[in-house]
Amino acid sequence: MFISAPGPCYDEGDSTINDIGRSLPVGNKKGWAALLLSALLIGLLAGCGGNSGGEAQGSQGAATDNAKASSSGETVKLTMWGGVPPEAGPQAVADAWNAEHPDIQVEYVRFVNDDDGNLKLDTALATGQAVDLFVNYSVTQAAKRVESGAALDLSSFTDYDIDGKMGPDAATWKIDGKYYGIPTKKNVQFFALNKDALDAAGLAVPKAWTWDEAREYAKKLKAAGFKYGLVQHTETFSDPMDSVMEKHGYIKEDGTSNMDDPLVRKWLETLNAMMKEDQTTPPLGEQLTSKMPVENMFLGGEAAMINIGEWLLRSSNNMKDFPRDFKIAFAPVPRLIENEEDFITSGGLGDFISINANSKHKEAAWEFLKWYADEGMLPMTAGGRLPASGAVDQAAAIESLLGEHADTYDQESLEFVLYGDQTPTFVRKLPQEMVDMRAQEYEKYFLGNQTAEQTVQAMVKRHNDFLKQNQ
């Protein structure tokens, strides 16, 4: 199972499609094979015969099921699994649908979006538990579920234009050239900035900038009295590297790792200098040992900038737990690449919702999924999840996102990073094993246990070993 080449926003390959078009396997074959074998055995013992009937059942078979339910007066019950807490929007979505569709009722089940939670979902899919729709939070997760036969090929439905509604970034989620779900959420990564502090320091809100410029901002803001100029979650440390790899390719033409791209080393040295020389961002050791709540530090006025995404609004709108007296402005994530036209930033689309290929109510699930993508997910904006569909009113989405605290934000800069910035985006598709291995190496550097050169060479070696093992 291979992920399709990225859409028009991408010029180079990634971990699954390299820059000369050769495909590489997704994920850990052995681990997934074991799960597939377990699922197959369970299916055989149950006498269900797997997913026979295939795609045709996705329309005709499900329609028959729904017709029977309708004629008998029975209510179709759908179960949707997702990783967002019910109170952060999903329950309101289900309630809105259920109020308007008494014949099709939706129950939301939460799984935690971590290794254990995703295993719970995969087990439920493999053992025939009640799952009609489910949310994938990474391309690699979706690809594995397609490979196992758990996700329905949506090409049997012809009444919804995914590309037209979601735009070119939707193509990132195609697997073998097909959609096995709909990406429903617009991912936005940005810098949130203390607007009052910027004004006092005479600093403009950037609309395009480099990491060198962001480093200078951090110095000036720290000098203005902040403990740190910049804070960020450790997960974002790899985004600048992936931005470079998406542009230049994770793999060279000779088939070996490109983790030694000069800009990768530049990023490592830049962040290390901010930690140790400038002292404008927390040292990694301190951040790890203290489990530093970086959002709290920004909202509490200890840090002037934070590298984060749209989910920040969940906390920044919570004035009870996170009271603040400053206005928040927003800027695009800085780039390592000098030429602005060559820059690709983390973002794209997410919350890829699939229909279980073994659901007894595929047609009903499809009706709900279309409604959710175009109309139903507006309550999710209050929890920081922006609808991706072009059918959604952007002004209404922003109004819902900001709630009653709109005057505490610089709305012009927010609208720019959400909808005005035309920088191409990517969704990381580097296998999780390699993401983890890479993080292990650069953490050694930030902790002072190896040099930048040793770090780059270690990442290259481990990437090459991974590529050989997964040929």
**Helix or strand (DSSP H, E) at 193:** strand 189-194
How many degrees, rounded to 5, is the angle at CA 259 between CA 437 and CA 15? 70
Q: Do 462 and 412 lie in a common domain? A: no
Dihedral of CA 141/306/13/423: which sign? positive
Q: Is residue 246 part of a domain?
A: yes
Phi-psi region of 255 (alpha: psi -120 to 50; beta: other; left: phi over 0): left
How many structural domains are present in the chain?
2
In terms of average pLDDT, the best of 20-24, 41-45, 356-360, 398-402 is: 356-360
Give the CA distances from residue 66 to residues 74, 359, 366, in Å, rounded to whole numbers and listed in that order: 9, 12, 12
Which pair of tokens denotes residue 375? 């109309």
Q: Is residue 240 part of a domain?
A: yes
Fill in the amino acid letter for 191: F
Q: Write down the pLDDT at residue 403.
A: 85
Q: Is residue 262 part of a domain?
A: yes
Q: Do 286 and 218 lie in a common domain? A: yes
Q: Write down the pLDDT at residue 431.
A: 86
Q: Write down the pLDDT at residue 432.
A: 84
Q: Do 91 and 231 lie in a common domain? A: no
271-294 pLDDT per residue, tens = 999 999 999 999 999 999 999 999
348-396 pLDDT per residue, tens = 899 999 999 999 999 999 999 999 999 999 889 887 888 999 998 888 8
Average pLDDT, the chain: 86
Q: Do 199 and 248 lie in a common domain? A: yes
Fill in the amino acid letter for 177: G
Higher local confidence (pLDDT), 410 or 394: 410
Q: Do 238 and 327 lie in a common domain? A: yes
Contact of 441 with 454, CB cutoff 8 Å: no
Domain span at residue 410? 76-187+349-420
Q: Is residue 39 part of a domain?
A: no
Q: Do 337 and 446 lie in a common domain? A: yes
d(CA 307, CA 291): 17
d(CA 258, CA 362): 43
Q: pLDDT confidence of 400, banded at 50, 70, 90?
A: confident
106-148 pLDDT per residue, tens = 999 999 998 899 999 999 999 999 999 999 998 889 999 999 9
Q: Do 153 and 116 lie in a common domain? A: yes
Q: What is the mean pLDDT of residues 223-236?
A: 96
Q: Write down the pLDDT at residue 426.
A: 84
- Would you say residue 27 has pLDDT above 60? no
d(CA 224, CA 180): 51
Q: Do 260 and 374 lie in a common domain? A: no
User: What CATH number should be reported for the domain holding residue 400?
Assistant: 3.40.190.10
d(CA 92, CA 159): 26
Q: How many CB atoms lie within 10 A of CB 7?
A: 19
Pick from 403, 420, 437: which residue ends a domain? 420
d(CA 378, CA 93): 8
Q: pLDDT confidence of 45, banded at 50, 70, 90?
A: very low
Q: Write down the pLDDT at residue 158.
A: 95
Q: Is 210 helix (H, G, I), strand (E, B) or coil?
A: strand
Q: Is residue 53 part of a domain?
A: no
Q: Is residue 451 part of a domain?
A: yes
Q: What is the mean pLDDT of residues 203-225?
A: 97
- Would you say residue 307 has pLDDT above 60? yes
Pick from 420, 444, 461: which residue ends a domain? 420
Q: Do 209 and 316 lie in a common domain? A: yes
Q: Is residue 16 part of a domain?
A: no
Q: Write down the pLDDT at residue 298.
A: 98
Q: Is residue 332 part of a domain?
A: yes
Q: Do 238 and 340 lie in a common domain? A: yes
**Helix or strand (DSSP H, E) at 196:** helix 195-201
Q: Do 278 and 226 lie in a common domain? A: yes
Q: Do 382 and 415 lie in a common domain? A: yes
Q: pLDDT confidence of 72, banded at 50, 70, 90?
A: low
Q: pLDDT confidence of 34, banded at 50, 70, 90?
A: very low
Q: Which of 186-190, 277-281, 424-428, 465-469 has the lowest mean pLDDT?
A: 424-428
